[in-house]
Structure 1
Amino acid sequence: MKPLHGKIALVAGGTRGAGRGIAIELGAAGATVYVTGRTTRAQVSEYNRPETIEETAELVTKAGGQGIAVQVDHLIPEQVQALANRIEQEHGRLDILVNDIWGGENLVEWNTPVWEHSLDKGLRMLRLAIDTHLITSHFVLPLLIKNKNGLIVEMTDGTAEYNRDHYRLSMYYDLVKNSINRMAWALAQEVKPHECTAVSLTPGWLRSELMLEIFKVTEENWREGASEDPHFIISESPRYVGRAVAALAGDSEVSRWNGQSLSSGQLAQVYGFTDVDGSQPNCMPYLVEVIEAGKSADTTGYR
């Protein structure tokens, strides 16, 4: 029997990128996965990307789970409440919440001080990446804490330790990614009495659909992207962080991580999973010890 057989998961913001990779891996472990987002085959969001929630749900089912696509704008409380009601009616509980809502790439103005950055774009970014997580937690967590051992994974970019010492090149982006780490810590305090666990989790250099396009490669020939940036060899597929979530969800002692800020590479070393190519990239220390140290690209000891 698959380790997550019978488990009910919600991947909020599972249309593409890390969310899609996580949903697929939860499905591969046997879970039923609700996949939410704004883009469907009939309607494209402001993000204006081709990936859809239906595609993700189909990939979940193909992997061995049950994928259920539900169009939800997580900024609209009524839609999130309706989602929670549906999950309760159909399954009576929720075991895993992955909060991966983001959608702010087109809003960030990198290396632009706050007084020059578009105020409208900056505030929209905060709403998309922070308010959505709070609204989702408000409506969904009462369903998750009904039973012991529920897991909440707040997805971010950068561990709390890394982000503490590094400015993320935009005040708005910096606020978003630090806020999610703190949000997970605060959630951990609130769900601990219910014997549930909350963590924040970051992938490394993620080969999302957008990143593959930027480097003009596919997942099959991604290594060719190193010709543009040699450090691209430390990158990882979205399935890698998906396997990190699946490992956490299948850990009977997952409460040991409560409140912690984790990375895909760190968890791979603990749980022993690999990326789709069989490697174990560990990007967070590589960023500091190789890239920031000005060394030539070399993943020896990091992959």
Structure 2
Amino acid sequence: MSLLGPVEVRALAEKLGIRPTKKLGQNFVIDGGTVRRIVRVAEVTRDDVVIEIGPGLGSLTLALLPEVARVVAVEIDPVLAAQLPVTVTEMDPEHADRLSVVHADALKVTPDDLRADRGDHAEDADRRGADADDLPALPDLPTALVANLPYNVSVPVLLHLLEILPSLRRGLVMVQSEVADRLAAPPGSRIYGVPSVKAAWYADVRRAGPVGRNVFWPAPNVDSGLVSLVRRDPPETSATREEVFAVVDAAFAQRRKTLRAALASWAGTPAAAEQALVQAGVQPSARGEQLGVADFARIAENRPRHR
């Protein structure tokens, strides 16, 4: 497997006139061992269509391509988006036809932007001397998320993808260590909050290990960590996701307040908030960090309908 090391990354950046920017959250991975580890821990298979957000110069992309059916790489930088297929063709021509590049903002990308190209699937079969009909059906949409997420928008991007892509069964993302802790925090934890609850709506979330600063160029000023996600069904509830998330946002907007006080605006009055909490089986004196996602769903179900 040909991967990008420090020399190749810097040479590519110089060739393209790229200076990594904080605005786009650009820190390029320069360590082959790290991208191999990410692919291994992600447990992707040859049946997976992987979505990668912010592929940058292609360090992780090159490690993914030999292991999966397809990589759909979403890149907001037009220069990087144009260069990625060139880099892959030069460094791994055998698997270059497994790559699709989508030049888009990951916060605005839609399922239609990400649908697999079946024509390329047929070309892959032909290259291997196989009949396309003999190959496993290629999923229409990505089944796994594996990415070094741009740190400045990591949580919004992750939640957006989980919302628009029910096809995602699992994911492994690299984010700022502090964000990784928050995403994986359980109820009752000091750092448990909105990202923890909303991620738990979609998946079982856990920390999957630390990542050192020196595997990046430029080296960030923060530590990084891996987060593993395994899709599961949301709590059974008559409330919509939007209704549940509205409760979550209100509950954590003023963390020091009891839920009776924090949910007063959401319910209409403190008394209405208390009524909803009692009906949901939640103590009005409790605080948001004590509740799990199923608790918030029950509260949403009991919101007063007449205010």
TM-score range, shorter chain: 0.3 to 0.5
TM-score by length of 2: 0.39
Larger Rg: 2
Instruction: Name whichever structure is richer in strand by fraction.
Output: 2
- Higher normalized contact order (CA 8 Å, seq sep 6+, divided by chain length): 1
TM-score by length of 1: 0.39
